[in-house]
Amino acid sequence: MGFEHLSTNFDPNKALLVIICGPTGIGKTSVAIKVAAAENGEIIGADSMQIYRQLTIGTAKPTAAEQARVPHHMVDVVDPTEDFDAAKFAAMAGRIISGLDGRGVLPVVAGGTGLYIKALTRGIFEIEAGDRQIRAALKAAAEAKGMAALYRELEKVDPETASRVHPNDTYRIIRALEVHAATGSTMSRLQAEHAFAEEKYNCLKIGLTMDRDRLYERINRRVDMMIDQGLEAEVRGLLDRGVSPDLKAMQSIGYRHMAAFLQGQMDWDDMVATLKRDTRRYAKRQFTWFRADPEIQWFEPHETEKILQLVRDFREKTAK
């Protein structure tokens, strides 16, 4: 076990960062807690849904006991009605990392939102805010024609971005079309040109993997557990408090499915089956994203001793 995959040559001016990533339902939180507890670390969540307050069961947030064992950051930081993106995540998490590093605490980033992790470690390209008239026109088109029409338009002008965006993700579809209209280029091309420049930290990237069928069984059981824990009541409560089902937060896996059931758009059995299917598909997309990063070293979730030894070696090798 070596460090040929380290993302950068060691720079004593940069903070150390251990990243635990992988698909949903594989056990990232458990492994991250063991690493942080053993190595005087604190956890920074890199999950685009766990950032939202009030969305708890469907996002599989760390439990109160887990958060009591090791401090967690970037959980419950914004309301569902607030806009939040990878750039905001990188800025907030970056400040936390600086504080932890200053106290001699190891930051352990744990999550499955690949873009959040990439934005944190490499930075994210900046695009001007755009033209308000363009945005207003796109929103009007969405209301008049429906999001399906805008998604088909995105598939025409930027099929690569469309393949990564859910057809109901109003925010990202409008943003990508706005970028295209304002710049004449596509979101995917601008991201590629940016190339996510130099790594901002001394990173050790650890990916969790397992047999696909076994992971899918875990995902199916996890969905059943979320339902048993009260996902229906949680979503009903959000809707009753006036949280719109069209919000970006409510378009996530689990919440859009349960909202569709509560609004009479799906029956119960179809909702559960579709939720499980979409969660499995999401896990497959996460695998594809992380497998493309050659810096990630892969382990099964039960290989905690190997992971802990790798982290210890990493810290010794990069001791300031």
Q: What is the mean pLDDT of residues 29-40?
A: 97
| Sheet of 72-73, strand order | 72-73, 41-45, 106-111, 16-21, 202-208, 297-299
What was the pLDDT predicted at 125?
A: 60
For residue 169 the two structure tokens come to: 């993700």
Which DSSP string do the residues of 30-60 spell out, in sequence order?
HHHHHHHHHTTEEEEE--TTTTBTT--TTTT
What was the pLDDT predicted at 166?
A: 82
What was the pLDDT predicted at 181?
A: 84
What was the pLDDT predicted at 98?
A: 96
pTM (predicted TM-score): 0.80
Contacts of 317 (CB under 8 A, 6+ apart): 3, 10
pLDDT band at 198 (very low <50, low <70, confident <90, very high): low
In the numeric block, the tokens 């970056």 are attached to 94
Is a pLDDT exceeding 60 seen at residue 151?
yes
What was the pLDDT predicted at 130?
A: 58
What was the pLDDT predicted at 168?
A: 83
Express each pLDDT in 39-96 by its tens digit: 999 999 999 999 999 999 999 999 999 999 999 999 999 999 998 999 899 999 999 9
What was the pLDDT predicted at 133?
A: 81
Q: What is the mean pLDDT of residues 207-214?
A: 97
Look up residue 76 and give its amino acid.
D
Please indicate whether residue 259 or residue 160 has the higher confidence score (pLDDT).
Answer: 259
What was the pLDDT predicted at 132?
A: 75
Express each pLDDT in 246-298 by its tens digit: 999 999 999 999 999 999 999 999 999 999 999 999 999 999 999 999 999 99
Q: What domains can be seen in the chain, in order of their start residue?
A: 16-124+196-317 (3.40.50.300), 132-194 (1.10.20.140)
117-131, 162-176, 224-238 — which is least confidently predicted? Answer: 117-131
What was the pLDDT predicted at 6?
A: 53
What was the pLDDT predicted at 107?
A: 98
